[in-house]
């Protein structure tokens, strides 16, 4: 590629080449949009992921030498080779960030885009699968619809540079260097086309087609299947939080979830009746086990009406009364809804009559705004109007062609199976975007209906920008094993590093048993069990091996953005794992209580997500980018700025079928990032950073370390998140360096915060003179307590440790909203 000429056009730089043209737009000092086209005009299509709201771009300048053109902002410098078109990216000080190969890194390959045409000869066949009703079209035509391009964007990444992101994937890869990843939506794959580098930059690709990431000795590149042009954003940080801030500036603000969404979520496949749902919550309240949300999985509808958004009148005779009973017990309800509707249901008939169904005559067309509005109206009339609180938008891929067969297909084969099925019904250019638009319809529908309830939408797929629709993504129908638990940790971390902040999973895994459980799903014993029935514990919670695995999963889950148990094959309620006094039961209750004690910390972090574009669940490189020892650590992470979580991912007590294990040390290695001292949360013992230690990991303990220079606000043990909101706050101060923390509070479940109805209390610890400053309260909200009591605990060995409320506090401060300084 040779640069033949260039010019400044309005606020951007236009490069003309012998292979097309390239446009550079500085959206800000740190964000540059780069578009490469071989067409006469750049594409006029609106982006589905980008909603940049600024009217003007950043100032920039240009330098030229005999062999290059240099594009300069206050934060970035991009050198463009005149002879090859290769881009090299530097920070403002001239430090290399990344570069394209010397021959140039951008290429477009012209292709024909094929469209599927359905007509009167098309046949539709509906089948019952493990994952619900599926409809498949046959006897259709394929025609060439238009021209487009494969795109390929190449890089030369440095040795020792770590790359993260791309969404949630099941393989268990942390650092993407040296790996290949297909990007398409599937039951256990959620795609976000965003990369983040430890060199201090991110790359967001504005494409919705099949993509691949590739990095090995033969080259490093991002490839897209169908696009009008190459379009991406280079985002400079250099810190991960700054990169994510740029991502959210491009893709939109993350709304506040309600306070209750951060409490414990009880779910299983499935609660079948109104009476059962209510009785489960009563039992939680009777046992004084914290709970905020219970979930009604699929088949709330009448049998034979798959996907109908309503309650079966026989099993749920009075859903409004059911909601009243649940709310009286301070519990919310999430209901599963699907984009698939069976023929013969009222919802299906209405969608079909208006032409709002895709070619399989089962999935509604989420790309059609009118179809999205009708979908919301159906959900509102049949479910939300009864007082329900949250949505579970299941199967948002929305196709699952590989969810069959005895053998798990190889990655390339799975990619082909799934993407070909998606291309049959969706435009090949947009096969990854269904979930994004589906979530948009739910969010806009509820916001237009009421502002008294914040939107909560649990979804199995994701795409860039979905966070702005109050979406929480979970990792799909995983199978129970220690290996799965281990792989889920980097899956969640790579999802959150993309800028999408809310991720969760099925604690204990969805499929607990293996292929012997096939009879639950299929009456024909001659049909072989499919590959994904890969759980290792056929006896479920009766197996002590599974109980141990579940406890460890639960400990990890208590430190996810959403704390949620779900699955099939075995019950999931806490008392199913033992009774009070048993190690399993007591440990589950202990970590549930710990989650609730940390609620002032957690909800304040949620406020930072919305107001500061923060990320709660953080790979270690977020905060310790300068420590290359953390780059490949896949089983430790930060929960907010202060708490380091170290899940246990191997059995120590029991194997499968309750086989007792012996000779296994009840410890795990923990790396303490350098630059800080660290406190053992359970003992208060202090350690120097930059070392690996052996940490106690008995069944009732998951190693947790607190960074020196931290302030952690803790509340009392409560039964639900809105209980005792004015209770004293225990401030645990981990000395060793200066620290600060902002306590965020609001009304909990409406959108008044958008109009300034919230408060902030800034806390600051000055380590040299051992002084705590509680700043003037900023703001107010309805129901705010004008008086707060802070119980100060200076943590040391054996003092201010573990979950128990500290009885011997170091000082009690009665706070009326005015600044107080206290020296210790």
Residue with tokens 């574009």: 613
Are residues 393 and 366 part of one domain? yes
Asked if 28 and 55 count as a contact pair (C-beta separation under 8 A), the reply is: no
Residue 588, domain member (yes or no): yes
Domain end among 234, 251, 268:
251
Are residues 468 and 365 part of one domain? yes
Q: What is the pLDDT of residues 683-720, one digit of tens each?
A: 999 999 999 999 999 999 999 999 999 999 999 999 99
Radius of gyration of the chain (CA): 27
Pairing relation of β-strands 811-815 and 686-688? unpaired
Question: What's the mean pLDDT in 417-429?
Answer: 98
pLDDT score at 134:
86
Residue with tokens 């696009």: 227
CATH classification at residue 455: 3.20.20.80
Residue 550, domain member (yes or no): yes
Dihedral of alpha carbons 364, 370, 372, 376, sign? negative
Token duo for residue 623: 């905060």
- pLDDT tier for residue 588 given thresholds of 50, 70 and 90: very high
- pLDDT tier for residue 131 given thresholds of 50, 70 and 90: confident
Strand partners, 167: 191
Are residues 275 and 246 part of one domain? no
Residue with tokens 């009364």: 321
Asked if 365 and 357 count as a contact pair (C-beta separation under 8 A), the reply is: yes
Secondary structure, 3-state, 99-131:
ECCCCCCEEEEEEEEEEEECCCCCEEEEEEECC
Q: Is 776 exposed, middle or buried (0-12, 13-18, 19+ CB in 10 A)?
A: exposed
Indicate the pTM of the whole model.
Answer: 0.98
Residue 415, domain member (yes or no): no
The DSSP string of 599-635 is HHHHHHHHHHHHHH---SEE-GGGT-TT-GGGTT--S
Cα 584 to Cα 282, 420, 537, 547, 650: the distances in Å are: 21, 46, 17, 7, 16
Task: Specify the number of domains making up the chain.
Answer: 3
Q: What DSSP designation does 763 have?
A: E
Q: Is 145 helix (H, G, I), strand (E, B) or coil?
A: strand
Instruction: Give Cβ neighbours of residue 134 (< 8 Å, ≥ 6 apart).
Output: 126, 127, 128, 340, 362, 400
Q: What is the spatial distance between Cα 202 and Cα 366, in angstroms, rounded to a whole number? A: 29
Strand partners, 725: none
Q: Among residues 389, 477, 635, 745, which one is catalytic?
A: 477
Q: Is 802 left (phi over 0), alpha (psi -120 to 50) or beta?
A: left
pLDDT tops 80 at residue 525: no
Domain end among 541, 564, 596:
596
Q: What is the pLDDT of residues 603-620, one digit of tens each?
A: 999 999 999 999 999 999
- pLDDT tier for residue 47 given thresholds of 50, 70 and 90: very high
Q: What DSSP designation does 796 have?
A: B
Cα 802 → chain centroid = 28
Q: What DSSP designation does 364 have?
A: B
pLDDT score at 509:
99
Asked if 254 and 456 count as a contact pair (C-beta separation under 8 A), the reply is: no
- pLDDT tier for residue 400 given thresholds of 50, 70 and 90: confident
Residue 409, domain member (yes or no): no
Asked if 253 and 612 count as a contact pair (C-beta separation under 8 A), the reply is: no
Asked if 375 and 443 count as a contact pair (C-beta separation under 8 A), the reply is: no
- pLDDT tier for residue 367 given thresholds of 50, 70 and 90: very high
Are residues 229 and 174 part of one domain? yes
Continuous segment of H or E residues that includes residue 290: none
Q: What is the spatial distance between Cα 43 and Cα 287, in angstroms, rounded to a whole number? A: 60
Continuous segment of H or E residues that includes residue 279: helix 274-287
The answer to whether 677 is a known catalytic residue is no
Token duo for residue 645: 């979580």
Are residues 266 and 214 part of one domain? no
The answer to whether 394 is a known catalytic residue is yes
pLDDT score at 377:
99
Q: What DSSP designation does 157 have?
A: P
C-alpha torsion angle, residues 642, 647, 653, 658 (rounded to 10): 130
Instruction: Give Cβ neighbours of residue 115 (< 8 Å, ≥ 6 apart).
Output: 142, 143, 144, 145, 427
Continuous segment of H or E residues that includes residue 78: strand 76-81
Secondary structure, 3-state, 704-748:
EEEECCEEEEECCCCCCCCCCCCCCEEEEEECCCCEEEEEEEECC
Are residues 157 and 60 part of one domain? yes
Continuous segment of H or E residues that includes residue 21: strand 20-28
Residue 657, domain member (yes or no): no
pLDDT score at 54:
80
Q: What is the pLDDT of residues 562-580, one digit of tens each?
A: 999 999 999 999 999 999 9
Question: What's the mean pLDDT in 545-551?
Answer: 99
Q: Is 368 left (phi over 0), alpha (psi -120 to 50) or beta?
A: beta
Asked if 568 and 269 count as a contact pair (C-beta separation under 8 A), the reply is: yes
Q: What is the spatial distance between Cα 655 and Cα 803, in angstroms, rounded to a whole number? A: 29
Are residues 196 and 62 part of one domain? yes
Secondary structure, 3-state, 460-497:
CCCCCCHHHHCEEEECCCCECCHHHHHHHHHHHHHHHC
Residue 189, domain member (yes or no): yes
Beta strands in 169-269 (DSSP E): 180-183, 190-197, 201-205, 211-216, 219-227, 230-236, 264-266
Residue 79, domain member (yes or no): yes
pLDDT score at 498:
99
pLDDT score at 128:
79
Instruction: Give Cβ neighbours of residue 669 (< 8 Å, ≥ 6 apart).
Output: 692, 693, 694, 695
Are residues 314 and 170 part of one domain? no
Q: Is 777 exposed, middle or buried (0-12, 13-18, 19+ CB in 10 A)?
A: buried
Q: What is the pLDDT of residues 469-515, one digit of tens each?
A: 999 999 999 999 999 999 999 999 999 999 999 999 999 999 999 98
Continuous segment of H or E residues that includes residue 638: strand 637-639
User: Does 270 sit behind a cis peptide bond, omega within 30 degrees of 0 on the bond before it?
Assistant: yes
Domain end among 251, 282, 313:
251
Reference 17, options 34, 33, 38; nearest CA is 38
Q: What is the pLDDT of residues 785-815, one digit of tens each?
A: 999 999 999 999 999 999 998 788 999 999 9
pLDDT score at 658:
98
Q: What is the spatial distance between Cα 293 and Cα 793, in angstroms, rounded to a whole number? A: 32
- Number of C-beta neighbours around residue 83 at 10 A: 13
pLDDT score at 521:
74
CATH classification at residue 756: 2.60.40.1180
Are residues 75 and 197 part of one domain? yes
Are residues 270 and 237 part of one domain? no
pLDDT score at 748:
98
Are residues 574 and 471 part of one domain? yes
Cα angle 199, 201, 203; round to 5: 130
pLDDT tops 90 at residue 35: yes
Pairing relation of β-strands 31-37 and 230-236? antiparallel
Q: Is 679 helix (H, G, I), strand (E, B) or coil?
A: strand
Continuous segment of H or E residues that includes residue 322: helix 319-328
Q: Among residues 131, 215, 394, 745, which one is catalytic?
A: 394
Question: What's the mean pLDDT in 732-742?
Answer: 98
Token duo for residue 737: 């360096």
CATH classification at residue 244: 2.60.40.1760
pLDDT score at 358:
98
- pLDDT tier for residue 523 given thresholds of 50, 70 and 90: low
Token duo for residue 540: 């479920």
> Reduced to 3 DSSP states, what percent helix, strand and coil does the chain have, rounded to the nearest 5?
25, 30, 45
Q: What is the pLDDT of residues 217-233, one digit of tens each?
A: 999 999 999 999 999 99
Domain interval for residue 153: 3-111+147-251
pLDDT tops 70 at residue 156: yes
Q: Among residues 397, 429, 538, 680, which one is catalytic?
A: 397
Least confident among 122-136, 264-278, 466-480 = 122-136
Are residues 234 and 104 part of one domain? yes
- Number of C-beta neighbours around residue 786 at 10 A: 10
pLDDT score at 806:
79
Asked if 117 and 142 count as a contact pair (C-beta separation under 8 A), the reply is: yes
Helix ranges, 653-696 (H): none
Residue 627, domain member (yes or no): no
């Amino acid at each position: 590629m040779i640069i033949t000429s260039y010019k400044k056009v309005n606020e951007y730089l236009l490069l003309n080449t012998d292979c097309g043209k390239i446009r550079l737009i500085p959206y800000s000092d740190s964000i540059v949009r780069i578009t490469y086209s071989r067409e006469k005009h750049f594409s006029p299509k609106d982006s589905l992921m980008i909603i940049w709201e600024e009217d003007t771009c950043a100032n920039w300048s240009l330098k030229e030498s005999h062999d290059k053109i240099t594009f300069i902002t206050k934060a970035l410098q991009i050198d463009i080779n005149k002879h090859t078109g290769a881009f090299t990216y530097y920070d403002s000080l001239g430090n290399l960030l990344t570069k394209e190969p010397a021959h140039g890194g951008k290429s477009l390959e012209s292709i024909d885009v094929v469209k599927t045409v359905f007509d009167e000869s098309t046949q539709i066949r509906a089948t019952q699968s493990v994952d619900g009703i599926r409809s498949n079209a046959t006897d259709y035509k394929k025609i060439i619809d238009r021209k487009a391009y494969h795109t390929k964007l190449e890089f030369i990444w440095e040795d020792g540079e770590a790359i993260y992101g791309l969404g949630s994937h099941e393989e268990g890869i942390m650092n993407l260097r040296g790996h290949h990843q297909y990007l398409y939506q599937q039951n256990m794959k959620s795609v976000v086309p965003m990369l983040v580098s430890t060199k201090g930059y991110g790359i967001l690709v504005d494409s919705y087609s099949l993509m691949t990431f590739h990095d090995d000795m033969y080259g490093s590149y991002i490839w897209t299947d169908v696009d009008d042009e190459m379009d991406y954003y280079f985002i400079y940080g250099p810190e991960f939080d700054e990169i994510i801030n740029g991502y959210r500036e491009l893709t939109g603000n993350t709304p506040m979830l309600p306070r209750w969404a951060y409490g414990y979520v009880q779910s299983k496949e499935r609660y079948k009746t109104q009476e059962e749902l209510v009785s489960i919550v009563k039992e939680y309240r009777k046992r004084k086990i914290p709970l905020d949300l219970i979930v009604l999985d699929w088949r709330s509808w009448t049998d034979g009406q798959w996907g109908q958004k309503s309650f079966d009148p026989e099993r749920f005779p009075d859903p409004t009364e059911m909601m009243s009973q649940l709310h009286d017990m301070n519990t919310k309800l999430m209901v599963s809804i699907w984009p698939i509707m069976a023929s013969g249901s009222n919802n299906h008939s209405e969608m079909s009559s208006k032409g709002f169904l895709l070619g399989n005559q089962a999935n509604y067309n989420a790309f059609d705004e009118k179809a999205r509005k009708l979908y919301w109206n159906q959900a509102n009339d049949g479910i939300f109007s009864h007082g329900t609180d949250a949505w579970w938008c299941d199967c948002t891929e929305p196709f699952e062609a590989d969810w069959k067969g005895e053998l798990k297909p190889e990655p390339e084969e799975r990619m082909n199976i799934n993407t070909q099925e998606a291309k049959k019904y969706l435009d090949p250019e947009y096969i990854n975007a269904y979930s994004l638009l589906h979530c948009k319809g739910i969010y806009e529908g509820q916001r237009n209906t009421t502002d008294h309830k914040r939107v909560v939408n649990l979804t199995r797929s994701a795409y860039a920008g979905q966070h702005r629709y109050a979406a929480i993504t979970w990792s799909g129908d995983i199978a129970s094993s220690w290996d799965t638990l281990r792989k889920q940790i980097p899956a969640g971390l790579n999802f959150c590093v993309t800028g999408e902040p809310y991720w969760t999973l099925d604690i204990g895994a969805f499929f607990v048993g293996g292929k012997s459980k096939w009879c639950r799903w299929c009456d024909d014993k001659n049909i072989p069990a499919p590959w994904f029935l890969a759980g290792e514990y056929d006896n479920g919670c009766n197996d002590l091996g599974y109980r141990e695995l579940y406890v460890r999963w639960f400990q990890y889950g208590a430190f996810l953005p959403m704390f949620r148990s779900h699955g099939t094959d075995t019950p999931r309620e806490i008392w199913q794992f033992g009774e009070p006094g048993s190690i399993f039961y007591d440990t589950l209750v202990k970590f549930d209580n710990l989650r609730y004690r940390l609620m002032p910390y957690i909800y304040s972090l949620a406020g930072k997500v919305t107001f500061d574009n923060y990320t709660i669940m953080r790979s270690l490189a977020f905060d310790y980018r300068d420590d290359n020892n953390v780059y490949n650590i896949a089983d430790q992470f930060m929960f907010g700025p202060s708490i380091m979580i170290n899940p246990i991912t191997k059995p120590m007590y029991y194997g499968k079928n309750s086989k007792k294990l012996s000779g296994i040390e009840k410890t795990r290695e923990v790396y303490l990032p350098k630059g800080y001292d660290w406190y053992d949360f359970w003992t208060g013992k202090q350690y120097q950073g930059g070392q690996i230690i052996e940490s106690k990991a008995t069944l009732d303990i998951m190693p947790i370390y607190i960074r020196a220079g931290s302030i952690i606000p803790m509340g009392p043990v409560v039964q639900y998140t809105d209980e005792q909101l004015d209770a004293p706050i225990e401030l645990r101060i981990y000395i060793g360096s200066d620290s600060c923390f902002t306590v965020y509070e609001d009304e909990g479940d409406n959108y008044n915060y958008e109009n300034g109805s919230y408060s902030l209390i800034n806390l600051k610890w000055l380590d040299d003179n051992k002084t705590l400053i509680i700043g003037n309260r900023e703001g107010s909200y309805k129901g705010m307590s004008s008086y707060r009591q802070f119980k100060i605990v200076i943590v040391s060995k054996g003092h201010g440790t573990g979950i128990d409320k500290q009885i011997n506090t170091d000082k009690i401060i009665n706070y009326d909203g005015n600044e107080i300084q206290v020296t210790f």
